[in-house]
């Protein structure tokens, strides 16, 4: 069986917030943010929710794939910012789309969430249990930011990206679709990028119901990313018997321009092969890879037979990398 991406979609909030806008409410500037991160602006949710953006991205992906919601067998959402503890975001999406034949669940792998969802769907499809899956990365990160902490809040944005993946019978010696996948976790270093949930509060113990906000050790996250991501990419290339020159694009999680530049340098690959959405979207965790993929797809940048690498990495610490033939 071959697992192919047959449609993509994305959704961003209507409210655009520039670096100059942020400089009016905190001690920062466009130069300070853009020179360190590559980010110029981001979208922040006002009326939108994680589920509403995920549903819109999914509808666009279904339309792009030319299939109906009833054809979806499986829905997996990668998110850390669902609207509810329960029901899951994926079950909300099932209801919003009318995907009555689908089983739905979420995965929590932060910035690697879409890649973990892709690999999980791939395994289901390869086993023959299901034929068609909807995978989504969706986040409303603005609700877990401390907007007095300029070292973190200026980095993140809100949005959702989706893809339809389908299993096809594989002819003899035929290749295509998802060629190789590698993923991993390093929980021992998980606290370098974290967000605490509400603490226990019951008749036996009294705690303030204070919200948790994202905290990050930027230097440790940087060292993790620039070491782990190139190594993961090399692994999947070796697994698929490809070289960097065989890859048309490297579609990386949009965390920081310096990380992307460092990965390109370590792989000895031109930065032109690393498309960006970071400048106008910021870091949208699990949604960044599928949003960028959809932007590329709709610009006509992806042609049949093109080989691309996708890689997500972040909190957990987690990472997931795939080689795909379009």
Beta strands at 307-314 and 249-252: parallel, antiparallel or unpaired: parallel
Q: Which of 253, 256, 281, 297 is catalytic?
A: 253
What is residue 11's DSSP assignment?
A: E
| 202 is annotated as an active-site residue | no
Residues facing 136 on adjacent strands: 77, 162
Q: Which one from 111, 153, 195, 281 is the annotated catalytic residue?
A: 111
| Burial 270-302, CB ≥16 within 10 A → b, else e | eeebbbebbebbbbbbbbbbbbbbbbbbeeeeb
Bridge partners of 9? 162
**Tokens representing 323?**
């080689």
Question: Cis peptide leading into 317, omega within 30 of 0?
Answer: yes
Please tell me whether residue 261 adopts helix, strand or coil conformation.
Answer: helix
Is 253 annotated as catalytic? yes
From 19, 64, 283, 297, active-site residue: 283
283 noted as active-site residue? yes
List, in order, residues 6 or more apart from 8 with CB less than 8 Å away.
60, 61, 64, 161, 162, 163, 164, 290, 293, 294, 297, 298
Say how far apart CA 286 and CA 290 lie, in whole Å.
Answer: 8
Residue 311's closest CA among 262, 265, 250, 263? 250
Give the catalytic positions in this structure.
111, 253, 283
């Amino acid at each position: 069986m071959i697992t192919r991406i047959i449609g993509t979609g994305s959704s961003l909030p209507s409210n655009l917030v520039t670096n100059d806008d942020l400089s009016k409410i905190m001690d920062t500037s466009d130069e300070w943010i853009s020179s360190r991160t590559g980010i110029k602006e981001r979208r922040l949710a006002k009326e939108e929710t994680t589920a509403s953006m995920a549903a819109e991205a999914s509808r666009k992906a279904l339309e792009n794939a030319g299939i109906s919601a009833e054809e979806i067998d499986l829905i997996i959402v990668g998110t850390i910012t669902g609207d509810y503890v329960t029901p899951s975001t994926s079950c909300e999406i099932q209801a919003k789309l009318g995907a009555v034949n689908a089983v739905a669940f979420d995965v929590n792998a932060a910035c690697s969430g879409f890649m973990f969802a892709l690999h999980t769907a791939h395994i289901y499809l390869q086993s023959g249990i299901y034929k068609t899956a909807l995978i989504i990365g969706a986040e409303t990160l603005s609700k877990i930011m401390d907007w007095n902490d300029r070292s973190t809040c200026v980095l993140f944005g809100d949005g959702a990206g989706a893809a339809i993946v389908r299993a096809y019978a594989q002819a003899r010696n035929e290749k295509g679709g998802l060629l190789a996948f590698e993923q991993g976790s390093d929980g021992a270093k998980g606290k370098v990028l974290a967000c605490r949930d509400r603490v226990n509060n019951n008749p036996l113990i009294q705690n303030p119901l204070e919200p948790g906000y994202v905290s990050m050790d930027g230097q440790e996250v940087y060292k993790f990313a620039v070491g782990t991501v190139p190594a993961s990419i090399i692994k999947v290339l070796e697994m698929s018997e490809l070289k960097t020159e065989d890859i048309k694009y490297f579609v990386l999680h949009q965390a920081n321009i310096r990380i992307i530049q460092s990965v390109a340098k370590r792989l000895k690959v031109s930065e032109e092969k690393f498309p960006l959405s970071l400048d106008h979207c910021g870091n949208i965790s699990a949604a960044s890879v599928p949003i960028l993929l959809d932007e590329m797809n709709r610009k006509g940048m992806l042609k049949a037979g093109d080989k691309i690498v996708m890689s997500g990495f972040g909190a957990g610490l987690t990472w997931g990398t795939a080689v795909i033939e379009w």
